[in-house]
Structure 1
Amino acid sequence: MTETRRSGAETRERILAVAREHFARQGYDRTTIRAIASEAQIDPSMVMRYFGSKEELFTAAASIDLALPDLTAVAAGEAGRVMAAHFVRTWDSEGTLMALLRRAASDPQAAEQMRSIFATQVAAAIAPLCPDPAQAGRRAALAATQLLGIALGRYVLHLPPIVEMDAEEIVEWVAPTITRYLTAESA
């Protein structure tokens, strides 16, 4: 029985890995269960058995740990730089997060998933830096507007000026704003 459970867990993880690649590369609408199953070398009915629907598969595939750095380990004046650099690297390498961003613009469930990721993970990461920890949610939302705006402009809309900038240049521009959102006294 243990071998069967392990085999089932391995199959589920293989499906998720392939699904993440497909959703990141092709977006939600152009990704098919049949293509995912083919690449995972299983029958499409197995994808449905493990996940129920394409929507549920996407939700599972887009369950993202941002792996945020410990901002308490850096000088307060560098927190925005560290966070901005982390997100630019994440946007550059994490296609699933980009697929979720694209879908969140038109799908309420994906938008809720994106809100939840930012509200819980980012707010928790920045709370220790806030002059008033009760404002962590508000400050995380403000930081998110900058970080999501960069992703939208650079990777979805492909705005030429921001696409042409290298990662370090983007970080240089946005780090002071992020730092202010995280550490400044209330407006």
Structure 2
Amino acid sequence: MVRRSGEATRQEIRAAAARLFRERGFARTSVRDIAAQAVTNPALVIRHFGTKELLFLDTMQFTIDDEPLLDVPLERFGERFVEVLLSDDDIRGVYLALVRGSNEAQIRARLQAVHERTFVEPVRARLEGPDADVRARIAAALVGGLLYALWVVEDEGLVKADRGELIAHYGALLQQALAGPTGPTSHRPTAAPPR
């Protein structure tokens, strides 16, 4: 058997852990499972990463490419944002792993940071006005709800829906959230005529 360097062993552990955490989640992945996949000793997993939770946090990084979001006019931003999120399978794996492990305090904190950095900030950066933060958070909540319905509960109707149609419908909802209650695309209920 060829002996690997410390860095090579570390990378093998990271790759095995990332794969198992995405497939099984945090709770159903053991240090022994990771070591077996990396063809190493469980003690080396702990030596290199400290704890399973720290290894999880090291390997479950959630990012999106902001570039496609900056190139579209604001009136098309909602649709483009949904399209970008749904086009990356890596996002799905990491999102599910974070949600499944969110009963652990550090993992929940990472999920909160991901929500802020990935869902709220790119949207807020495109908005103006005193209620920009609230509108960005509402839009982020809509996106989070879509990902939950698609990837956590696997809503059959949404999973089987035409992808382009889903992007168009959800993009329109996001545009409403971005516009706010007095925006040009909002549908404010009108008051009943006086009697």
Normalization by structure 1: what TM-score? 0.82
For the aligned residues, what is the CA RMSD?
2.4
Question: Size of the alignment, in residue pairs?
Answer: 178
In structure 1, the gaps of 5 or more residues are 1-6
Pick the aligned partner of 1:168 from 144, 164, 183.
Answer: 164
2:193 aligned partner: none
% identical aligned pairs: 25
Whether the 8 Å contact between 2:92 and 2:151 is mirrored in structure 1 is: no
2:191 aligned partner: none
2:57 aligned partner: 59
In structure 2, the gaps of 5 or more residues are 183-195
Higher relative contact order (CA 8 A, sep 6+): 1
Matched, 1:118 2:111: no
Q: Deviations over 1:87-136 (max 9, x none)?
A: 112357641221112222x3443222111112123333223310238734
Structure 2 distance, partners of 1:185, 1:59, is 35
2:32 aligned partner: 34
Do the aligned partners of residues 139 and 12 (structure 1) sit closer, same or farther apart at CA in structure 2, a change above 3 Å counting?
A: farther
Structure 2 distance, partners of 1:93, 1:109, is 19
**Greater gyration radius:** 2
Structure 2 distance, partners of 1:148, 1:123, is 10
Whether the 8 Å contact between 2:79 and 2:167 is mirrored in structure 1 is: yes
Q: Deviations over 1:53-107 (max 9, x none)?
A: 1111111122322233342311211111110011112357641221112222x34
Do the aligned partners of residues 44 and 166 (structure 1) sit closer, same or farther apart at CA in structure 2, a change above 3 Å counting?
A: farther
